[in-house]
Amino acid sequence: MKLLKSLILVLFLLLAAGCTQSKADIKEVSIDEAKQAFENNGEKPNNKTEQFSFYLPENYKVEKADKYNVILAKGAQRYILFVNENEEENSQVSYDTLVKQYENPFISKTFKKNDKLGYLFVHELDSKKYEVTVGIGGTKLTTETELKNIKEDTRNIMIIVSSIQ
């Protein structure tokens, strides 16, 4: 009986390990999600501030907004949306600033479409937390998340950034 229980436990652990995505897989899938969301035409805005309109996915809410920043929330997670109206959609200033600020990022990828520059930049804060920033030109959205949530957060926040008008 002990042998059977041990065998079942070992099989369970092997299956659980097989279902866990590696860092390399998460990195690759997150880049694909950001690129697809960037290349889509963008969602129709369903929220508005004094300066711009944007799409907000279900379960997200606006906590605070001022002229250039919007604090978003999804449950306990916070997101900071920054819009610099003085930068064009093809500007690299925000991306270059991140590259200079952080050595050895987990992900640093740019995307181009027409006259737009999009990017995904992920920096490992510690073994459990990552800072995820996506942007298009002078617009960027940043959050802190766990490794397992990078893919979903990347997709959602690129959809938000892509929708800004």
pLDDT of residue 8: 52
pLDDT of residue 6: 46
Q: How many CA atoms lie within 13 A of 40 on its CB side?
A: 17
Among residues 133, 63, 139, the alpha carbon closest in space to that of 98 is found at 133
Please report where in the chains the tokens 């937390």 appear, as a residue.
129
What pLDDT, in 10s, does the model give residues 5-62?
A: 444 544 444 444 445 689 999 999 999 999 999 999 789 999 998 889 999 999 999 9
pLDDT of residue 159: 96
pLDDT of residue 2: 56
The proportion of the chain whose per-residue pLDDT surpasses 70, expressed as a percent, equals: 88
Instruction: Tell me what the pLDDT averaged over the chain comes to.
Output: 89
pLDDT of residue 25: 96
pLDDT of residue 16: 47
CA dist 79 and 2 (Å) reads 49
- Count CB atoms within 10 A of the CB of residue 61: 11
pLDDT above 70: residue 3: no
pLDDT of residue 1: 57
CA dist 163 and 165 (Å) reads 6
pLDDT of residue 17: 47
CA dist 139 and 160 (Å) reads 10
SS3 96: helix
Q: Is the dihedral of CA 24, 30, 34, 36 positive or negative?
A: positive
pLDDT of residue 42: 80
SS3 160: helix
Please report where in the chains the tokens 């510690």 appear, as a residue.
126
Q: What angle separates helix 23-39 from helix 150-162, to the nearest 10 degrees?
A: 20
pLDDT of residue 51: 86
